[in-house]
Structure 1
Amino acid sequence: MAPNSLFAILLRSPWWASFAVAGLIVLVASTLLPAQYVVFGALGAVPITVVGCIAAWRQWNAPNSAQVEQALATALAQPWREFADTLERAWQAGGASVERLNHPHADFCLTQGARTTLVSARRWKAATHGIEPLRQLHAAMQAQGVASGAYIAAQGTVTDAAVEFANAHGLVLLQGPALAQLLRSVR
């Protein structure tokens, strides 16, 4: 899905925005269309309503800002070994088998079904996350023949160049609410 498509924008928006757009479509259809065609015009609101339901489900299960801050603060207070154990338990709770790697650029190898993902998490406390660790992770992925990778940033900022690199090479940046959701799944 394109990042700026209507559906993508509505998925990132509050759930009620989708229902407001769907209501607007029904209102316009009932106002502008002849009576025999109103139902067909109103059916255009169905996909928007489905997107609203998906957004509501995601937002219902998402941690609030206080929970995100608390989960990230807990992660930052942990030493590496404890943080790695927490990540491992979270991924195992999600159904993945986790292998710890002794690799300078990848810390975990996750396998879930036929999908394998390399994860770099060691720099989770860095103040700024630049492009170099992502390049190293991508090189490790290519060396091991793995198609997907994830980089964990619990604190600090990720540079624009790093975000662009991640998007271009299929790397997932786990930070903020997504990381907090993962860490909270352990409890």
Structure 2
Amino acid sequence: MAQNSLFAILLRSPWWISLAVVLVIVAVCGAFLPREIAPFAALGALPIFVIGCMAAWRQFRAPSSSRLQTMHARIAAMSWKEFAAALETAWQREGQSVQRMPGGNTAADLQLAKGGTTSLVSARRWKAANHGVEPLRELQEAVARQKADHGVYVVLQGSLTENARAFAKEHGLLLLEGDALCAMLLKSQGDRS
């Protein structure tokens, strides 16, 4: 699904917006179309209704902001060993095979495999205050060298420079940062409150 398509935007928006759009479509169809055609035209709003239900399901299952903040603080207090173990557990619970990379490898820390797809994960700089292009470039080179399918760069705090974000997008590197990282670790613990 295209990132800026109507459905993608509605999936990211609060669920009630989709339902409001459905009501507007149904009202317009009822007001401006002949009675014989209006119900059939209003059925065109069904995909938007489904997207609204999907958004509601996701949003009701998502952890609360207070849980995310608590997890953020817990992750920030972790040592590298604890954080790596938490990532391993989270990805294993998602069905990934997780292998730690050899100690001399500075570009990638973990290798994930599932269904014939391999991903390299760079997570050691998760607490860094600033993230530039260089660690992403190293990760991209490791992905190419090992013929992996994806590269994942993990960031808890700090900021990625605009150049780093552009580099990640251009080279298809996935960024796992902030709330998404916290939600993944909460989910692996079975904690969604």
What is the total number of aligned residue pairs between the two structures? 187
Instruction: Tell me the secondary structure at the aligned position of residue 36 of structure 2.
Output: helix
Instruction: Tell me the secondary structure at the aligned position of residue 109 of structure 1.
Output: strand
Structure 1 Cα separation of the partners of residues 57 and 169 of structure 2: 25
The answer to whether 1:76 aligns with 2:79 is no
Query: Which deviations, in whole Å up to 9, do the C-alpha atoms of 1:112-156 show, x marking residues without a partner?
Result: 112111110000001111222111111110001112111110111
Instruction: Tell me the secondary structure at the aligned position of residue 30 of structure 2.
Output: helix
Instruction: Tell me the secondary structure at the aligned position of residue 36 of structure 1.
Output: coil
Gaps of 5+ in 2: none
Query: Which deviations, in whole Å up to 9, do the C-alpha atoms of 1:52-74 show, x marking residues without a partner?
Result: 11111111121222111111111
The answer to whether 1:16 aligns with 2:19 is no
Give the deviation of 1:2 after TM superposition. Answer: 2.2
1:1-187 superposed matches below 5 A = 1-102=1-102, 103-187=105-189
Structure 1 Cα separation of the partners of residues 178 and 58 of structure 2: 15
CA contact (8 A) 1:62 1:177 kept: no
Instruction: Tell me the secondary structure at the aligned position of residue 16 of structure 1.
Output: helix
Partner AA of 1:167 in structure 2: K
Instruction: Tell me the secondary structure at the aligned position of residue 175 of structure 2.
Output: strand
CA contact (8 A) 1:110 1:116 kept: yes
TM-score by length of 1: 0.95
User: Runs of 4+ in structure 1 displaced over 3 angstroms?
Assistant: none
Instruction: Tell me the secondary structure at the aligned position of residue 124 of structure 1.
Output: coil
Question: Which has the higher mean CA deviation after the structures are superposed, 62-71 or 72-81?
Answer: 62-71
C-alpha RMSD of matched pairs (Å): 1.1
Share of identical aligned residues, percent? 52
